[in-house]
């Protein structure tokens, strides 16, 4: 099961999202389409917060790269979440969703001068610095404007998070953060700068973490660093512990619960006397979304048949990018099963969602969903193969709304130009 109280369930043999039949959404909006459950977003947001109830002063910032849809941000803002942003575009979204600038944290290894300036204009709450030069540049821009930028220094604790290489961020050889053994001196230099107000340190060691031990090890290193920084007389008021908590994608997956995570955090940080910041992404949204698709063909294959669906790697990149697993479930399951490969129409062998999978028996014209698609799904979509940009629908009880339009190929074509010299 995908959540403690699954909001995607069959009603009279037909898969629903809360009170809305997915067949109705397919009929009115078309496929492929992402469908999100407001109740599940709220449930996950509350569960994560409750898990941290013994962790003292806590600030929650949703890592909006996981699902930056404006309506989703509104729901999470209503649940008291600020935003962790990694680009100027994400900052614009957070502000447009009504998130207070003070509740916005700017992470990311390549913030440009233009983005730093825009974030100072907006008056965001915190910059997580990724290298010393970034701090110097930010300080200079802020000082010239008569501002002091609130900042933390992102540490690379050199731990192996035990997750997929493409979502590991806390190893020495990764591009993120500064080496922990250089942190004290660097922090000291940054704290001297007029345009900065250094508040503490930040870490984020990776995503889809199933083992709390590497996180605990990293947090302990942070604790030692904080003690050392304080010995040097630095004022430390905030520690940003990042995101990364794993979620259930397939049968047998047992990610740490929010309560287990929270207990670990409370134990490790009990003497820190700081405001703890968190940047959860996936854990809040992954299981609140599905990608609804229609079977185009069932094509005979050498070993197993290929179920060719109208969703593709451009709509949901995770299987192609990380060999990720998404459960595939028929909207009207007959009870019969088949063993099949599932693939999209894109002209790449990598456009394959599953091989040799035991699934509900489906045939041409049937509807099905890829589950657990609410994080790193629509946000990674592209228009590769000149396909439309996939739309998004938000369900709340018995109502639903299209919260992102399907952007048709002609709209994208209209933004392209043939220069004069090619027109003759
Ligand atoms: C991606 C990211 C997160 C969120 O990670 P999840 O695994 O989705 O929780 C948090 N902080 C930073 C800096 C990130 O880059």
Q: Is 3 in the pocket of ligand 1 (CB under 6 A)?
A: no
The model's pTM: 0.96
Residues 125 and 236 in one domain: yes
For the domain that residue 400 is a member of, what is the CATH number? 2.40.37.10
90: enclosing H helix or E strand: helix 88-96
Tens digits of residue pLDDT in 193-232: 999 999 999 999 999 999 999 999 999 999 999 999 999 9
Domain termination residue (choose one: 253, 285, 317): 285
32 pLDDT tier (thresholds 50, 70, 90) = very high
Q: How far is CA 316 from CA 2, 93, 383, in A?
A: 18, 21, 11
Does 361 map to a domain? yes
Residues 26 and 114 in one domain: no
Is the pLDDT assigned to residue 3 strictly greater than 70? no
Q: Give the model's pLDDT for residue 4.
A: 56
Is the pLDDT assigned to residue 62 strictly greater than 60? yes
Q: Give the model's pLDDT for residue 1.
A: 44
Alpha carbon of 206 to ligand 1 centroid (Å):
7
Q: Is 66 in the pocket of ligand 1 (CB under 6 A)?
A: yes
Q: Give the model's pLDDT for residue 174.
A: 84
Tens digits of residue pLDDT in 253-279: 999 999 999 999 999 999 999 999 999
Does 424 map to a domain? no
Alpha carbon of 283 to ligand 1 centroid (Å):
10
Buried b / exposed e over 16-28, threshold 16 CB at 10 Å, is: bbbebbbeebbee
Of ligand 1's listed atoms, the one at least distance from the Cα of 66 is 8
13 burial class (0-12, 13-18, 19+ CB within 10 angstroms)? exposed
Mean pLDDT along residues 355-370: 98
Q: Is 60 in the pocket of ligand 1 (CB under 6 A)?
A: no
In sequence order, which residues have a C-beta less than 8 Å from that of residue 383 and are 6 or more positions away? 314, 389, 407, 409, 412
Does 419 map to a domain? no
Say how far residue 409 (Cα) sits from the centre of its chain.
Answer: 26
Helix, strand, or coil (residue 67): coil
Q: Give the model's pLDDT for residue 80.
A: 98
Alpha carbon of 245 to ligand 1 centroid (Å):
9
Q: Is 281 in the pocket of ligand 1 (CB under 6 A)?
A: yes
Domain termination residue (choose one: 226, 252, 285): 285
Q: Is 242 in the pocket of ligand 1 (CB under 6 A)?
A: yes
User: Is residue 17 among the annotated active site residues?
Assistant: no
Domain span at residue 352?
8-37+287-414
172 pLDDT tier (thresholds 50, 70, 90) = confident
Domain termination residue (choose one: 285, 317, 347): 285
Average pLDDT, the chain: 96
Residues 138 and 245 in one domain: yes
Of ligand 1's listed atoms, the one at least distance from the Cα of 206 is 7
Tens digits of residue pLDDT in 373-415: 999 999 999 999 999 999 999 999 999 999 999 999 999 999 9
Buried b / exposed e over 323-346, threshold 16 CB at 10 Å, is: ebbbbbbbbbbeeeeeebbbbbbb
27 pLDDT tier (thresholds 50, 70, 90) = very high
Of ligand 1's listed atoms, the one at least distance from the Cα of 283 is 9
Exactly one of 251, 347, 414, 424 is catalytic; name it: 347
């Amino acid at each position: 099961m995908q959540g403690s109280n699954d909001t995607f369930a069959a009603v009279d043999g037909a898969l629903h999202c809360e009170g809305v039949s997915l067949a109705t959404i397919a009929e009115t909006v078309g496929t492929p389409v992402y469908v999100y459950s407001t109740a599940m977003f709220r449930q996950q947001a509350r569960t994560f917060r409750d898990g941290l109830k013994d962790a003292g002063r806590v600030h929650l910032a949703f890592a909006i790269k996981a699902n930056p849809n404006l309506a989703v941000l509104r729901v999470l803002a209503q649940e008291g979440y600020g935003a962790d942003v990694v680009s100027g575009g994400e900052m614009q979204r957070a502000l447009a969703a009504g998130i207070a600038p003070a509740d916005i944290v700017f992470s990311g290894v390549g913030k440009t001068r233009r983005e730093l300036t825009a974030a100072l204009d907006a008056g965001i709450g915190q910059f997580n610095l990724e290298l010393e030069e970034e701090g110097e540049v930010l300080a200079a821009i802020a000082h010239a404007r008569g501002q002091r930028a609130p900042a933390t220094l992102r540490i690379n604790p050199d731990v192996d998070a035990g997750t997929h290489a493409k979502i590991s961020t806390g190893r020495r050889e990764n591009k993120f953060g500064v080496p922990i053994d250089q942190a004290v001196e660097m922090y000291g230099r940054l704290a001297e700068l007029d345009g900065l107000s250094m508040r503490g340190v930040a870490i984020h060691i990776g995503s889809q973490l199933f083992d709390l031990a590497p996180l605990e090890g990293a947090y302990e290193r942070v604790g030692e660093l904080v003690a050392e920084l304080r010995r040097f007389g630095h004022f430390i008021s905030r520690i940003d512990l990042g995101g990364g908590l794993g979620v259930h994608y397939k049968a047998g997956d047992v990610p740490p619960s929010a309560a287990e995570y929270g207990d670990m955090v409370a134990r490790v940080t009990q003497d820190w006397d700081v405001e703890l910041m968190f940047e959860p992404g996936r854990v809040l949204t992954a299981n609140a979304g599905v990608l609804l698709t229609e079977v185009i063909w069932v094509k005979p294959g050498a070993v197993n048949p290929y179920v060719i669906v109208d969703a593709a790697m451009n709509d949901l990149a995770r299987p192609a990018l990380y060999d990720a697993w998404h459960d595939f479930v028929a909207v009207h399951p007959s009870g019969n099963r088949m063993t099949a490969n599932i693939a999209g129409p894109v002209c790449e062998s990598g456009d394959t969602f599953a091989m040799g999978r035991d699934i509900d028996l489906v045939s041409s014209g049937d509807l099905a969903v890829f589950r657990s698609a609410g994080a790193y799904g629509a946000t990674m979509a592209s228009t590769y193969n000149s396909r439309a940009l996939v739309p998004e629908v938000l369900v709340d009880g018995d109502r639903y709304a299209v919260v992102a339009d399907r952007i048709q190929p002609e709209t994208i074509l209209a933004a392209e130009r043939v220069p004069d010299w090619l027109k003759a």
